[in-house]
Amino acid sequence: MRLALWQTAGDPGNDPAANLDRLEAAAAKAAAGGADLLLAPEMFLTGYNIGREAALAKAEPAEGPSARRAADIARAHGIGLCYGYPERGDGGAIYNSCLLLDKDGTRLLNFRKTHLFGDLDRAMFAPGEGTAELARFEGYGVGMLICYDVEFPEAVRALALAGADLVLVPTANMKPYDAVSLYVVPARAFENELYVAYANRCGVEGELDYMGLSCVGDPMGGNLVLAGDGEELIFADLDPARLREARRLSTHLGVRRPDVPGRSSR
């Protein structure tokens, strides 16, 4: 399977319709490059650092008009899509969410960010429940996390134990946290024997200076690809044989002892 990761600043006005136009152009380019799936950043539709009032005004249900337009884009170009957006949930709660669509536009999975980062996230969003749901895409078990979630080992481990082969992570990570792309994402891939795709924003938004460095963590260790700091579309080819070899060599999941960390030292 070929992944395309789109590192972008999005539309300067953070307009969902304009961002969907840009998503269609990127989907066409990714599909022309042979990609099966295009991954866009966290809060791609509206911008991330937009404040509570804008998040409330621009939030949509998971099956809202933007999702329907994105489904049309997926169908038209024969490519799966995963992107971040503000979701309006039952009771009016707003979530930092991401949506995964199949190549025919079918909704496969919707995920709500579980670990909220600082006052910025907490002022805008309610936390998700952290379910370890998976979807099947091109023969892979696919799970999703958002940005800060991947920095918690338990979040990726839960997906691995559920049978994930690939974890998609739309993100909006800012300077100086380059260690996440350089070390954390590869470590999560290696220790859980799966691929981790991490698509970041770039550019400046308010006081945030996004670092780029989108990457795909390799189950054998390291990154398969690593972007620079500007707008970029990068590709990574996932190989099921490499997954099998990583799982033969690493065996972390098979020999782990979940009873040990919970024992009292007294």
Active-site annotation holder among 24, 42, 87, 193: 42
What is the chain's length? 266
Beta-bridge partners for 234: 5
CA–CA separation, 29 vs 59, rounded Å?
28
CA–CA separation, 80 vs 102, rounded Å?
5
Has 60 been annotated as catalytic?
no
Contact 169, 201 (CB under 8 A): no
Active-site annotation holder among 58, 87, 98, 147: 147
Q: Is 206 left (phi over 0), alpha (psi -120 to 50) or beta?
A: left
Has 103 been annotated as catalytic?
no
Which residue pairs, CB below 8 angstroms and at least 24 apart, start in 250-253? 250/190, 250/191, 250/193, 250/219, 252/191, 252/192, 252/193, 253/160, 253/161, 253/192, 253/193
Q: Is the peptide bond before 86 cis (omega within 30 degrees of 0)?
A: no
CA–CA separation, 49 vs 43, rounded Å?
9
Contact 249, 228 (CB under 8 A): no
Active-site annotation holder among 60, 113, 151, 202: 113
Has 98 been annotated as catalytic?
no
Residues labelled catalytic: 42, 113, 147
